[in-house]
Amino acid sequence: MAYSRRTGRSRFTLFLLVLSSLTLLAVDLPGTGPLKPVRRAFGVVFSPFRSAGNSVFKPVADGWHGMFGYGDLKKENARLRSQLEKNTSDQARLKQLQLQNDELRKIAGVKAGTDQTVTAQVTSGRLSSFDRTIEIDQGSGQGIKKGMAVITEGGLIGKVSRVSGGSSTVTLLTEPTFDVGVKVPRTQDQGIAHGQGQGRPLLIEDGIPAKAQVKRGDDIFTSGTDRSFYPPGLLIGKVTKVATSSDGTALVVTVEPSADLSSISYVKVVLREPPA
């Protein structure tokens, strides 16, 4: 008798708590944010614990990367050295082209005004295996709005998916929910690239016709046209594979992001208003 009463009570507890979770989900899922103040308040309460933990555990995390990242570092070093040599020659060519470009712009009367950016530091990486975002230390106070593009020297890394006063959440471009309009400058083809998950390349499945001359090694940039959230001409990555879609009407292009997404410490947010 006592046993069944106890089981009955636990079932009731379970029912209540599951119901509460579902209610929270229903309220929070549309992303309209009635629970935003609660999140923010909890973030504030938790932040001293977080900074204390950070100062204690940072050496451990650094040691971990030192231990398991050594092989990668050696490989990366070799790759960077070879790249450096190539860059030096590119640089000279770039300078020349820059001069030419300036001349042409003057003639055409085009405003060279590029979008303003805000530099931000990454304050936390992914918190769990299913977390696909990073946090940065600049927010609406610095003019950042939801949807803005986030870049590093390597190119586009993602977009702002949530903003608060002094921090923002950035969704990385490899995430399956991420779409961006892209362009292959060499062939002028345009399409839409989407993420396929952490550690996997982007895929362009829409927009590039099967007869297009896109090939391996082509650079891919943001198109910045239509209602794109991104300014045109941000580097995204290089084409690593080109195939024809199953119905034979389009090219399926695989794009390896050029920015290193595994270790990001500083980013820039492009202050360009997303279309309303």
Which residues of the shown chain bind other proteins in the complex (CB under 8 A)? 6-7, 9-10, 13-14, 17-18, 20-29, 35, 38-39, 42-43, 46, 49-50, 52-54, 56-58, 60-61, 64, 124-133, 161-162, 169, 171, 174-177, 196-200
> Cβ closer to other proteins: 21 or 225?
21
DSSP state of 173: T
What is the closest distance, in whole angstroms, from the C-beta atom of residue 82 to other proteins in the complex?
27
Q: Which amino acid is at 24?
A: L
What is the closest distance, in whole angstroms, from the C-beta atom of residue 177 to other proteins in the complex?
6
> Cβ closer to other proteins: 115 or 256?
256
Please tell me the distance from the alpha carbon of residue 259 to that of residue 74, in angstroms, as a whole number.
19
> Cβ closer to other proteins: 56 or 243?
56
Dihedral Cα 84, 89, 94, 96, nearest 10 deg? 150
What is the closest distance, in whole angstroms, from the C-beta atom of residue 41 to other proteins in the complex?
9
> Cβ closer to other proteins: 132 or 272?
132
> Cβ closer to other proteins: 5 or 111?
5
What is the closest distance, in whole angstroms, from the C-beta atom of residue 50 to other proteins in the complex?
6
Beta bridge partner(s), residue 235: 221
Backbone angles phi, psi at 146, to 5 degrees: -60, 135
Please tell me the distance from the alpha carbon of residue 158 to that of residue 237, in angstroms, as a whole number.
13
Dihedral Cα 220, 226, 230, 233, nearest 10 deg? 40
What are the angstrom distances between the C-alpha of 61 and each of 43, 58, 218? 22, 5, 37
> Cβ closer to other proteins: 17 or 94?
17
What is the closest distance, in whole angstroms, from the C-beta atom of residue 193 to other proteins in the complex?
15
> Cβ closer to other proteins: 124 or 190?
124
- Closest among 262, 257, 247 to 221, alpha carbons compared: 257
Q: What angle do CA 237, 239, 243 make, to 5 degrees?
A: 145
Q: What angle do CA 176, 215, 252 make, to 5 degrees?
A: 35
What is the closest distance, in whole angstroms, from the C-beta atom of residue 192 to other proteins in the complex?
17
Q: Which residues have CB under 8 Å from 216's CB, separation 6+? A: 239, 240, 241, 242
What is the closest distance, in whole angstroms, from the C-beta atom of residue 45 to other proteins in the complex?
9
Q: Yes or no: say if 182 and 150 are a contact pair by the CB < 8 Å rule.
A: no
